Structure 1
Amino acid sequence: MKSIKMTYKKIYSMIYNLMFSNKLRRRRKILACLALGAGIMVGTVILLINYFNPDVYFLYWGPWDNTTCHYIETDVTLPRADAREFNPPAKSIFFHETSCSGTLNSRQACSVESAARAHPDWQINVLFAAPVTHYALKTGAISVIKNLTNIKLTRVHIGKYAKGTPLESMVSGGALNRTRWRISHSSDVLRYLSLYKFGGVYLDLDVVVVKSFDSLEKNWGARAADIWVEAGAISFSRDEVGRELADAAIT
């Protein structure tokens, strides 16, 4: 009997150990699969966010830029940049204000004024993507710079401004609303549209001009470092070289 009991105990112990070890192995396999799956998901999200912007806006959980002001059509305070009457001369400098502020702060106004004073025989164009009120024109920084005779303030409707250009389908297709950087990407589009349509110089609203551009070549870009050129200050002329550069930049 003792031998039979010992045999049963051994068999029971073997079965228990076998079942426990199988459960442990299964648990380890499940945990390993879960960890691998989580790693793949995190890696995929990081890859998409960093290398496939801007059309992966659904992976971004922060606030999006509000650019609904760009599509307001009822304002009539400023002349329209998409009208036929807007035909800047070859010696033109363009600034674009693409936030929904509808005004300029003192630093931005300083940038515009510096360009105007350094270039009295150039036209300085400030294009607002948002409506500008009568109150904004009478107060603050805009009221100071608008009295300079070579500064022209206009309202730009990006959809109409892009018509007849290689960017028309991209803008009308809503690409600028499928990005979390709507303000800056609208600015990128508008600067190249202006230079493509009219030629001239584009400057960011934080660029202060201390010397005339007349001594520079007709086509140039500001160097940000030894290996690349920034788009914060660029010039495309109306000659053949400038047109080739404009076409290459916008297509």
Structure 2
Amino acid sequence: MYPVRVLRRFNCYVISLLCLVCVTIVILHTDFAPDLYFLHWESLEDNSCHYQDSNDDLPVISSSVEMPEKSIFFHETSCKSGLDSRQACAVEAAARAHPKWQVNVLISAPIKGYQRGGSLSVLRKFRNVKLWRLKIWEYAKGTPLQDMVFNGALNRTRWRISHASDLLRYLSLYKYGGVYLDLDTVVAKALDPLPKNWSARESDENVASGIMSFSRDHVGRMVANATIK
């Protein structure tokens, strides 16, 4: 009887362990998954372009750059060198609908030879479109998010590209004010009639972050500071 009891107990341990592993795997693939910053997810997303200090064809956006109050920001954070046709269409739509606004495209990856063709060369023909290279260390310097960037938090997350995009969109509005648009957002008409501070509604309970506007007045600064915190 003794060996049978031991075997049964061993089987119970094995089954319990397998159940625990299965439950853990399921949780890690849901919205309830924690950000395990103490782990290194080296093989999931490559965000190395954010830290490349190479020279390229685009001017680097630095702390000395001044933005007009009517500014629109697009961020390309996926480390591909340029924009695809759909993204370029979003930028062009914003530029055409807002001829008196400055439309800024901030690209995290180094860009070489874009003048010879492609989507970026087409966008250069619009006088109100500005193409920038963004180096995240310099962009975050002197802001409340400096320590987060310098400590490498974006390298210790499972969703490196998405989190970089989240950080940079709020950082741009914190630094300059204006309008942020996702690169898959195509505006059909000018946004001028809207109030100075607004965001799109994602659902009855949630506010979207794919298109939003923070002004430079007291209200806009208060919202910008809250989102950064």
TM-score (norm 1): 0.85
Q: Which residue of 1 aligns with 2:90?
A: 111
Tell me what 2:124 maps to. Answer: 146
How far off its partner does 1:170 sit?
0.5
Unmatched tracts of structure 1, length 5 or more:
1-20
Moved more, 41-50 or 207-216: 41-50
Alignment of 1:210-229 (within 5 A): 210-229=188-207
Q: Write out per-residue CA displacement over residues 33-77 of structure 1, whole angstroms, 9 at most, x where no aligned residue.
A: 22223323443454456431252645x6x9321111221212141
Q: Is 1:31 equivalent to 2:11 in the alignment?
A: yes
2:161 equivalent to 1:180: no
1:132 aligns with 111
State the SS of the aligned residue for 2:192: helix
Give the match's secondary structure for 1:104.
Answer: coil
Measured in 2, the distance between the counterparts of 1:141 and 1:33 equals 59
Q: Does the aligned pair in 2 maintain the 1:91–1:122 contact within 8 Å?
A: yes
Q: Which stretch of structure 1 is more off in the superposition, 136-145 or 119-128?
A: 136-145
Stretch deviating more after TM superposition (220-229 or 155-164)? 220-229
- Is the 2:57–2:114 Cα contact (8 Å) retained in structure 1? no
Q: How many residues align?
A: 227
**Share of identical aligned residues, percent?**
49
Helix, strand or coil: the match of 1:101? coil
Separation in 2 of the partners of 1:76 and 1:63?
A: 27
**1:237 positional shift:** 0.5
- The answer to whether structure 1 residue 100 and structure 2 residue 82 are counterparts is no
* CA distance, structure 2, for counterparts of residue 175 and residue 57 of structure 1: 11
1:77 aligns with 2:64: no
- Aligned partners of 1:201, 1:213: CA distance in 2, in Å? 9
Could you say what secondary structure the match of 2:44 adopts? coil
Question: In 1, Cα distance between the equivalents of 2:226 and 2:115?
Answer: 37
Question: How far did residue 148 of structure 1 move?
Answer: 0.4
| Secondary structure of residue in 2 paired with 1:37 | helix
1:159-174 aligned within 5 A: 159-174=137-152
Which range moves more in the overlay, 107-116 or 35-44?
35-44
User: Which position in structure 1 is the counterpart of 2:170?
Assistant: 192
The one-letter code of the counterpart of 2:200 is A
The answer to whether the aligner puts 1:87 opposite 2:66 as a matched pair is yes
Query: Structure 2: any 5+ residue segments left out of the alignment?
Result: none
Task: Look up the match of 2:37.
Answer: 55
Give the RMSD, CA atoms, in angstroms: 1.8
SS in 1 for 2:96: helix
Give me the whole-angstrom Cα distance separating, in 2, the residues matched to 1:233 and 1:189. Answer: 14
Task: Compare the two structures and name the one with the higher helix fraction.
Answer: 1
Contact 1:218 1:236 (8 Å CA) reproduced? yes
